[in-house]
Chains A and B, each alone.
Chain A
Amino acid sequence: MMMDQRRLFDQETRKAKNVLGTIRRFSVYFRPYWLNLFAVVAFTLVVVYCNILYPELIGQAADCYLISTPTVQMGGSGVPTADCWYTDITQLTTTEAKVSGLLGLAFTIAGTFLVSALFTGFSFYTMRLAGQGALRDMRGDLFGHMHNLSIGYYSRNEAGEIMSRLTNDMDTLQQMFNFALLNVFQGVMIIFWIGVAMLRENLVYGLISLSVAPLMLFVTRYFSGQARKAFRVARKEIGQVNADLQESIAGAREVQAFNREEESIAQFQRANEANRAANVRAAVFTSALNPVLEAFSYVALGIVVLVGGFSALNNQPLIEGTAVITIGTIFAFIAYIQRINQPISQIAVLWTNVQSGIAGGERIFNLMDETIEVVDRENAKQMPPIIGEVSFNDVEAEYVKGEKVLRGINFDVKKGEMVAIVGPTGAGKTTIINMIPRFYDVTGGSVLIDGVDVREVTQDSLRQQIGMVLQDTFLFSDTVMENIRYGRLSASDDEVIVAAKMVAAHEFIERLPEGYQTVLGERGSGLSQGQRQLIAIARVALMNPNILILDEATSSVDTRTERVIQSAFEKLLEGRTSFVIAHRLSTIRNADMVLMVKDGQIIERGTHQELLAHGGAYYDLYMSQFKAEEDVA
């Protein structure tokens, strides 16, 4: 049976590969709270002790006060001697004495209940104090580490995926440290102590009475495991229902335009039906779990009564030479066995949470262990104020080992020059500009700014002096003011406004409901693409860098905004060394140097006129894309 159980465990939960290692990592975060953990264990022991005290006290109540065997005191023979530690039994001859003794016992019992409740509270609170603290520290570390990770990591992994992994894993940890772990611990302790108490009271009787417990544990695990499995199917189905819903709501106009309502409804009903069927299947197991467990508890009760009852009836021990079972013992055992049900189902259900928590922790630690590709050298200096000369010397780059995305890139740019980079998608344009602020490290050659290798200075001091406007404008859910100020945190409000005016963003910002104090929605929603871009440009204008990197947006904005952006760019570029991934002919025309990139290499370079005259790849590009449009116009 043990084997079967293991198999079930393995199937059911995602388990950590290295449980001990993960626990060791956790322990680092719990170290500041070791006193708490110690207290949790102590408190739990008190709670568990109170829990098992009750059945014992009830047993005493029966044996010492309630069972009227009046002849006992006189006859003396065959009397089971009950252990009444609360009061000396010999004093209890009168009814009054018994009642007052009983009152004392009732108060004692109420007292243990109170102590148990309080210490349960203490233990959970202390545990949560430690758990939440450890989790807070872990989150902080994790977040810090995410900034250390190189851009390479973020290009290899989808942002959405990283997010859902982090939030899910953190959630499982939260559950584990909030209640699952302590509940399981308490449950185990209670079962253990009750077991010990029963066995100590009467070994044989105890063994027989406990015989059902493992079976209960197994059955609970089985049913909850099956339910979990069934629910996983149901989750998939509800995912389908949601996808259908999402699609049909988003595409409702199309559905109506093409007269597809009937089909669409029929299709949804099918998915909906499958979801219902999956859920109802899962319900078989969830519905069965409690009734089955309860039935088992009755079986256990029956065994306790039957075995104990006959022994007491005959006044014979179960096995020759052991103690006779008193009625008090039976009472105690009834109470014990009733107290064992709840922890058993609790452990069975929550153990999975603990396992998932450990697995979630392992994944988070794995992320923390992710190697950082771009690191500051040990003796890295501060980058001196940048003048604006950039050279690429034989630069090579690869994202995946052995697959070069850049080869033999060579060029020199003088202060204040503008470089336009053109070429097909995937040619390596973005990689080239990513090398300048050292988002990636070269795998061969070097990138020099003012003659300084970018790897010899700290990343912070380097990037602080390079302005970037990326294609996918990213804004924070904060005010417009703060979004622009992001370029230079020390800038005053006036300086922000000056920067916005410089790039002609001021006008539309003023028209926003609350001007510069307008809070932008998630990722700047509420603004048009063009407006978002203008804010990003203002951000860089405020920063006032000597090197500028621009990735021109390909997406369509309306023509008026387009022009505003264009002139904002032109203003921004004045007097700075700039690199532009160009999509507009006017940009290319203005460039001091055009680099035509293909397959990770620069295949042509020169001014627009020179390249046209050359009649090579750039000429072809121009003819197929730019020239045709000039004709149309």
Chain B
Amino acid sequence: MQAVHSAPPMSVRKKRAKGEKGYLRRAIGYLGHYRTMTFIAYGALVVATLAQLVVPQLVQAMIDGITQGAIAQRVLSIPNEGVQAMALSQLNTTKEALQTTYNNAPSWILGAVALILVVAVFRGLFAFIQAYAAEWTAQGIAYSMRNDIFTRIQRLSFSYYDRNQTGQLMIRATDDVERVRLFIAQGLLLTFQAFLLLIVTLTILFLTNWRLTLAIIPILPFSVILFAVFGKISQPLFRDVQMRLSKLNTVLQENVAGIRVVKAFVRQNREQKRFDDANMDLYIHWLKIARAFSFLFPMIFFVGQIGQAVILYFAGSQIIDGSLMIGEYQKFNLYLVYIFFPLGQLGMIVSLMAQASASAERIFEIIDTKSEITDKPNAVALPPIQGDVEFREVTFRYFNSTAPVLNKVSFTAKKGQTIALLGATGSGKTTIINLIPRFYDASEGSVLIDGHDVRDVQLDSLRSQIGIVLQETNLFSGSIRDNIAFGRPDASDEAVMNAAKAAAAHDFIMEFPDGYNTSVGERGATLSGGQKQRIAIARALLLNPKLLILDDSTSAVDFTTERKIQAALDNLMKDRTSFVIAQRISTARNADQIIVLEKGQIVAMGTHAELIENSPIYAEIFASQLVDDSHPVAEAV
């Protein structure tokens, strides 16, 4: 790490580039999962390419057959014997030989055409197999990569989610995978094909007529240069347009979503001006692309075409002096395409490869992330929880930060107690409750449940016995029933319903036409924050845990509902050890123990009565932070 930092920037960049290539190689290594199909794809590619290379030979045969035959016919049909003899001598042949040529011409042409059709079908078949197999493997690779990413993401510790946003992770699994797929499905294969075509074609051309081949070689560098220019110019131009477009869309978005504000403040003219500016900017950048692309593409074609004119002259001269057959010229012309075409492909592939490399690196960054929280090799199953929880000198620091979020926190919760956690945002409340189900590991000290260090037991056995209601409730697509039974998919309908009733969710669930079968999530019914929360509570209660953790759980519902939930919870907390991040006064009041936190340390601990007496901090929090009740929600929900 140090060495890299102190190295000069250039070598850093080199190292990085090399690293990226390494990732791309690793991505290509996924082809190993689909060895047979990969083999088929590349095998078919070789066959199809070679078949393609046969075509000009056949065309040459056809044309030579026609030309020779036609000339023979003309000479043979000259009525004047003398003239015919002169022609024969000029052509340096005999009448018999011409007659044979003429007689054989039809079958020669027929044969060549038949062969071309056979090759066409053959090549078509293999080209299809190649394209299909390549797509098959590429889709397979994308599939495997997505699975790997997903599996990894599911098992990462909470601190990973703290550091990474959903949107970014999504992009890895979608756009980045797509880019790698595109490169492997097309780029890699095309590179192979391009080199194959280029090498074989040039070899054939050299062997048939090296002088003619030399005539076109000077053109090759031009097309390579043009493609390099193309790649260099196009990417930043498109990036620019993309940037302008998203700017324009932001203005548009703001005006659609904020139309009331725009109208209320009568700011249409200002907004129109903002939009016009963005619009003009976009227009100018589109024109830049238009300028570059309108001429670059035709020029690239032009360079390829110039070869045809060059060949016409050089080959033509050879034909005229009799050293070249006209069919061979045609063949040459056809082969020309096979030289310029792959060069063009290589130009495209370079940019494809650069993108794929960067994407592969991002993908493997995820796949290579080690989960910080895993079972110890000799972890045992946690026996049924009784409910004693102890924090022993627990210190917690976030990944590579020096300031502790929790500093030497110690406390004991007895079986069946309710512990209320209080403190300002960032005081460490949430961290404490996250340490119990081992979403994070303590940096120092230990968390014990019934005397077992949570790091010594199997994660599954630990978490399955703890009921958790997180601050933000996420529901998953599926029915309401599925969501409540999230932690116990095999729960009976009755158990699900009881949990819902206890969480004051049953009534509103029954109001949906499909009741418990109402689907929620992405494409389902939209639930209000309060409804979601009650489902989350039901979900936790269904586990019938001995340990219950509630984070801000009752802040987003209206008062009437809240009282219902509160009553249900009070009831439910009775036989369980519960940790509650308190937002409401009533919660704090009823707790067996209140822990007051400030900057990661416990500053006061005790019951409400004790604390109100002798803790000024508690008194202040009580007065200012807890929701007191003269500002209720007046919506009749």
User: In the complex, which residue of chain A has the Cβ closest to the Cβ of B142?
Assistant: A276
**Contact pattern, A 174-192, Cβ under 8 Å of B = 1, otherwise 0:** 0000100000000000000
16 contacts between A and B (CB under 8 A): A118-B295, A143-B255, A147-B271, A163-B256, A167-B249, A255-B154, A257-B487, A258-B468, A268-B147, A291-B131, A295-B120, A459-B263, A554-B633, A584-B632, A621-B634, A633-B629
Is A287 in the interface zone, CB < 8 Å from B? yes
A105 CB contacts on chain B under 8 angstroms: 312, 316
Docked-complex contact B329 and A121, CB < 8 angstroms = no
Query: Shortest CB–CB separation between residue B471 and chain A, in angstroms?
Result: 10
Q: Does B11 contact A (CB under 8 A)?
A: no
Give the contacting residue for A163; candidates B252, B316, B629; CB below 8 A: B252
Shortest C-beta distance, A124 to chain B (Å), equals 4
Q: Does B272 contact A (CB under 8 A)?
A: yes
| Minimum distance in angstroms from B539 CB to a CB of chain A | 7
Name 10 extra pairs, CB < 8 A, besides A139-B279, A288-B132, A470-B260. Answer: A58-B312, A71-B87, A95-B320, A120-B294, A124-B290, A143-B252, A259-B463, A312-B70, A560-B625, A621-B634
- Would you call B275 an interface residue if the criterion is a C-beta within 8 Å of the partner chain's C-beta atoms? yes
Q: Are B123 and A249 in contact (CB under 8 A)?
A: no
Known: A71-B83, A302-B113, A312-B70. Contact between A128 and B265, CB under 8 A?
A: no
Which listed residue, B267, B309, B330, touches A113 by the CB 8 Å rule?
Answer: B309
**Residues of B568-622 whose CB lies within 8 A of A:** 585-586
List, in ascending order, chain A residues with CB within 8 A of B248's CB: 139
Is the beta-carbon distance between A147 and B637 smaller than 8 angstroms? no
Task: Annotate B472-516 by CB proximity to A: 1 below 8 A, 0 otherwise.
Answer: 001111000000001101000000000000000000000000000
B59 CB-CB contact with A under 8 Å? yes
Stretch at the interface among A237-245, A388-396, A404-412: A237-245
Contact B90 A106 (CB under 8 A): no
CB-CB < 8 A to B556: which residues of A? Answer: 555-556
Asked whether, in the complex, the Cβ of A283 is within 8 Å of the Cβ of B283, the reply is: no
Residue of A nearest to B625 (CB): A559
B170 at the A interface (CB under 8 A)? yes
Is the C-beta of A263 less than 8 angstroms from some C-beta in chain B? yes
Once the chains bind, are A243 and B477 in contact (CB under 8 Å)? yes
The listed residue (B302, B306, B468, B624) touching A559 by CB distance below 8 A is B624
| CB of A576 within 8 Å of the partner chain | no
The stretch from B133-141, B194-202, B354-362 touching chain A is: B133-141
* Contact present for B109 and A128 (CB under 8 Å): no
With contacts A140-B276, A291-B125, A302-B117 known, is A253 near B266, CB below 8 A?
no
Q: Does A103 contact B (CB under 8 A)?
A: yes
A423 / chain B contacts, CB cutoff of 8 Å: 636
Which of B128, B154, B291, B299 is within 8 Å of A125, CB to CB?
A: B291
Residue A379 at the chain B interface, CB threshold 8 Å:
no
Pick from A72, A147, A313: contact of B70, CB below 8 A.
Answer: A313
Q: Which residues of B contact A630 (CB under 8 A)?
A: 629-630
Chain B contacts of A459 at CB under 8 A?
A: 263, 266
Interface positions of A from 435 to 464, Cβ below 8 Å from B: 437, 439, 459-460, 463-464
Contact A301 B135 (CB under 8 A): no
CB of B282 within 8 Å of the partner chain: yes
Which of A1-9, A62-70, A202-210, A346-354 lies on the face that meets chain B?
A62-70
- Asked if B634 and A287 sit within 8 Å, CB to CB, the answer is no
Give B559 Cβ to nearest chain A Cβ, in Å. Answer: 6
Residues of B within 8 A of A330 (CB): 63, 66
With A74-B86, A258-B487, A283-B136 already in contact, the answer to whether A292 and B294 are too (CB < 8 A) is no
Residue A78 is within 8 A (CB to CB) of chain B in the complex: yes
Cβ of B412 within 8 Å of any chain A Cβ, yes or no, is: no
Name the interface size band of chain B.
Answer: 35 or more
Known A-B contacts A463-B264, A522-B250; the reply to A65 vs B166 at CB < 8 A is: no
Q: Are A306 and B320 in contact (CB under 8 A)?
A: no
Contact B632 A248 (CB under 8 A): no
Report A294 CB to chain B, min CB distance, Å: 6
A44-90 interface (Cβ within 8 A of B): 54, 58, 61-62, 65-72, 74-75, 77-79
In the bound complex, residues from chain B placing their C-beta under 8 Å from that of A486 are 261, 265, 267
Report the Cα distance A146→B252, complex, angstroms. Answer: 9
Instruction: Please determine whether B116 and A302 come into contact, CB atoms closer than 8 angstroms.
Output: yes
A42: CB under 8 A from chain B? no
- Mark out the residues of chain A between 269 and 326 whose CB falls within 8 Å of any chain B CB in the assembled complex: 269, 272-273, 275-276, 279-280, 283-284, 286-288, 290-292, 294-295, 298-299, 301-302, 305-306, 308-310, 312-315
CB of A280 within 8 A of CB of B136, answer: yes
Task: Tell me if A625 counts as interface (CB < 8 A to partner B).
Answer: yes
Q: Pick the residue among A247, A422, A562 that contacts B474 (CB under 8 A).
A: A247
Q: Taking CB as reference atom, which chain B residue is nearest A95?
A: B320
Contact status A102-B313, CB under 8 Å: yes
How far is A95 from B316 in the complex, measured between Cα atoms in Å?
Answer: 11
Chain B residue with the shortest CB-CB distance to A316 = B73
Given A136-B283, A294-B127, check contact A257 B259 (CB 8 Å): no
Complex-state Cα separation, A306 to B635, whole angstroms = 86
Q: Roughly how many angstroms separate A107 CA and B316 CA in the complex, as a whole number?
A: 13
B22 within 8 A of A: no
- Interchain CB contact under 8 A, A118 and B154: no
B73 near A313: Cβ-Cβ < 8 Å: yes
- Per-position binary interface string of chain B over residues 292-315, scored 1 when its CB falls under 8 Å from any chain A CB and 0 otherwise: 011101110110011011101100
**Would B74 and A247 count as touching, CB distance under 8 A?**
no
Residue contact A463 to B136, C-beta cutoff 8 Å: no
B474 touches A254 (CB 8 A): yes
Q: Report the bound CA distance from A154 to B255 in whole Å.
A: 11
Residues of A with C-beta under 8 A to B260: 151, 154, 439, 468, 470, 474
Bound-state CA distance A410–B92 (Å) is 116
| Chain A minimum-CB-distance residue to B68 | A313
Give the nearest-CB partner of A303 in chain B: B113
B75, A107: Cβ atoms closer than 8 Å: no
Q: Which residues of B contact A247 (CB under 8 A)?
A: 474, 476-477, 521-522
Query: Provided the pairs A61-B312, A147-B271 are in contact, do residues A290 and B62 lie with their beta carbons within 8 angstroms?
Result: no
CB distance from B556 to the nearest CB of A (A): 6
* Contact indicator B282/A425 (Cβ below 8 Å): no
Asked if B142 and A67 sit within 8 Å, CB to CB, the answer is no
What's the least CB distance linking A534 to chain B, in Å? 15
Residues of B within 8 Å of A143, CB to CB, are 252, 255, 271-272, 275, 279
Residue B158 CB within 8 A of the other chain: yes
Q: Does A117 contact B (CB under 8 A)?
A: yes
* A628 is an interface residue with CB less than 8 A from chain B: yes
Taking a contact as CB atoms under 8 Å apart, the answer to whether B263 and A121 are in contact is no
Given A147-B271, A284-B132, verify A256-B634 contact (CB < 8 Å).
no
Q: Which residues of A contact B73 (CB under 8 A)?
A: 313-315
In the bound complex, how far is the Cα of B468 from the Cα of A253, in angstroms?
10
Cβ of B80 under 8 Å from chain A: yes
Decide: A269 near B147, CB < 8 A? Known: A102-B312, A143-B275, A314-B73: yes
